[in-house]
Structure 1
């Protein structure tokens, strides 16, 4: 289904035709799987279980670099779906979205802090500091990002409805540039730091970009550009992070910056991944009976994506605690096995939780 592109000299109002959903569900599942793989492989990249420059490190580094789009794609999907101007006042929007994101944010923040206290013995003051700095767990910052973006959504819809498309492109580009600059300045000693109230701001550009991309008609040229952006961005991430680590002699702040979701290499790779996922998901939807069968499976798994995102770190770390992780070449095989097992167990847990009334709203 083609979505009309608003003229550049007119406000980018909402398309009249309903948006297709099959490819969006496909993109959610892909992003969910990518997040699990990234967290399974990240200890190798950060040299906990593999030495810098070894074959195991390089394999994990290339895989991780190729999947850095996972969180940006989630943010872009949310922006694409929620920024469409519609008849819905702010109060109604907040009531509906609170149930979707507010309850999981509170429940899983508490759950992970309690789990960390049981697992690592953190104190009450450390728990409060982790919650305030959006780090009750390595992945829960995403809930704070989405919650912050939701707060601005009713007002951003007005901006979207009355701003020419070129103006929105500038807005998205400038906010992404500011986010990249913010992370770059954070490399200076004593500078930077985020809180639960500000963590979402650097991602505003991705949120706007999601709406712009979702409302751009698919075309062969955009697919070529998307493929080029993904390949070049990923290659630059691989090379840039390795160079920064090699100069420092370790995986440090410079390499981590290149890996950041707002780094100059990850942004184009994320845009390219979004375009490629749309093309792949759209082709899946047009695949006849087999495509419809796969589409139903993808739709069912997509409905579990938020819950899997929330529980998978607890599952992954528990598996690591039980099974351990070898060093060197075997660490790569262990990480791959943990990724598959984590995804499978997390989906089963979330599917079971969704059948329990008191737990359904948390996932």
Structure 2
């Protein structure tokens, strides 16, 4: 990574040295921070850049629980076949929950941008590959587990072999939530690749992998045309919106100070307004609202600015860091809980009150069981495989 422009380069002081002794460069002088105006040495700035951010841990936890809220809420929506006439209580309770989580996926992209570009930039190609495989290996393992689970439960709508082949190119049911990883992995790879090239490195392997991702849709399509095979759609890759969320998110998370406390709570009405806007869109225009929609972007900005640089009490930080470390695993396993525990309980004829109570209880059970499972395999040293 290029040196910080706010840090002056080391210079000699001009004093003579003893014969045969090379002149040693002096430490870089303190430099004024371009934003805050404070003076910090390069070593202090380096430490600040690598600081453990409790607010980032909190954001990871919030996003994980928000995804679970959305999937629990979607169970109510699907129970009435997306039609209010089939059960207004379940319909509106489900949409209220589902519309409140729209910021979660964009925020994950923002967190990815901050981690790669600011928080822990890769120093070389192998470092970047380790980050990709650290997320890619759990994707592989959980795809196999979900396919095996659905096969054992008799829930596969297609032959197991067809689903297994299709899963190499994109997420398949019942692991519908893993679609995110097919976008997330190429995104962090391209950010790391650009950063390393800018730093003068030559990450050829990473570049070759990105080239393969770029040409895969056309190659697979051509194979299908030449052979007559029904080839699966290729979902590997990222869109403009995910890249924008990543870069802008990195900039916002890197701000030296967050929104002042006296103004931070003004973001709550902004979140409520965007929640209402997403609810309107989901129920009156199209379900589900796109991650690239303006309403979603505004909601994401409200949540990011509210949590960014928020002060987390010291006594909470170790436990928060532990939960944040289990967030990926909880994300991976929670759909099993939703499908086995929540879905059988949701009925179209539920009234609004009963549906609301069931949603709260289902969400609490999903969060607790998912995190308990993730913490358990963390203690068993299976984090590398299961996330």
**Residue 318 of structure 1 pairs with residue 340 of structure 2:** yes
What is the DSSP-based 3-state SS (H/G/I as helix, E as strand, rest coil) of the residue aligned with 1:265? helix
Of 25-34 and 218-227, deviating more is 218-227
Taking the aligned partners of 1:91 and 1:331, their CA distance within structure 2 comes to 49
What is the DSSP-based 3-state SS (H/G/I as helix, E as strand, rest coil) of the residue aligned with 2:166? helix
| Structure 1 equivalent of residue 277 of structure 2 | 236
Any idea what the Cα deviations from partners look like across 1:241-262, whole Å, max 9, x if unmatched? 2222xxxxxxxxx232xx2222
Instruction: Say if 1:60 and 1:5 are closer, same or farther in 2 by CA, change over 3 A.
Output: farther
| Structure 2 equivalent of residue 26 of structure 1 | 58
Taking the aligned partners of 2:106 and 2:186, their CA distance within structure 1 comes to 15
Instruction: Say if 1:263 and 1:159 are closer, same or farther in 2 by CA, change over 3 A.
Output: farther
Any idea what the Cα deviations from partners look like across 1:300-328, whole Å, max 9, x if unmatched? 2111100000001012211136x532232
**Residue 218 of structure 1 pairs with residue 258 of structure 2:** yes
Q: Return the offset for 1:269.
A: 0.6
Instruction: Say if 1:49 and 1:36 are closer, same or farther in 2 by CA, change over 3 A.
Output: same
Any idea what the Cα deviations from partners look like across 1:161-208, whole Å, max 9, x if unmatched? 89xxxxxxxxxxxxxxxxxxxxxxxxxxxxxx9623225654111111
Residues 76 and 93, structure 2, Cα contact 8 Å, conserved in 1 = no
Residues 32 and 305, structure 1, Cα contact 8 Å, conserved in 2 = yes
| Structure 2 equivalent of residue 40 of structure 1 | 72
Residues 49 and 325, structure 1, Cα contact 8 Å, conserved in 2 = no
Q: Return the offset for 1:128.
A: 2.4
Higher RCO by CA contacts (8 Å cutoff, separation 6 or greater) = 1
Taking the aligned partners of 2:125 and 2:183, their CA distance within structure 1 comes to 19
| Structure 1 equivalent of residue 101 of structure 2 | 67
| Structure 1 equivalent of residue 42 of structure 2 | none
| Structure 2 equivalent of residue 273 of structure 1 | 303
Larger Rg: 1 or 2?
2
Residues 326 and 334, structure 1, Cα contact 8 Å, conserved in 2 = no
Q: Return the offset for 1:86.
A: 4.8
Q: Return the offset for 1:237.
A: 1.1
Residues 35 and 70, structure 1, Cα contact 8 Å, conserved in 2 = yes
Gap regions ≥5 residues in structure 1: 8-14, 163-192, 245-253, 286-290
TM-score, normalised by the number of residues in structure 2 = 0.69
- Cα-Cα RMSD: 3.1
Where in structure 2 are the equivalents of 1:261-300 lying within 5 Å?
A: 261-278=291-308, 282-283=310-311, 285=312, 291-300=313-322
Residues 51 and 57, structure 1, Cα contact 8 Å, conserved in 2 = yes
Taking the aligned partners of 1:230 and 1:341, their CA distance within structure 2 comes to 26
Instruction: Say if 1:275 and 1:125 are closer, same or farther in 2 by CA, change over 3 A.
Output: same
Taking the aligned partners of 1:358 and 1:155, their CA distance within structure 2 comes to 29
Instruction: Say if 1:86 and 1:37 are closer, same or farther in 2 by CA, change over 3 A.
Output: closer
Taking the aligned partners of 2:368 and 2:197, their CA distance within structure 1 comes to 41
Instruction: Say if 1:198 and 1:106 are closer, same or farther in 2 by CA, change over 3 A.
Output: same
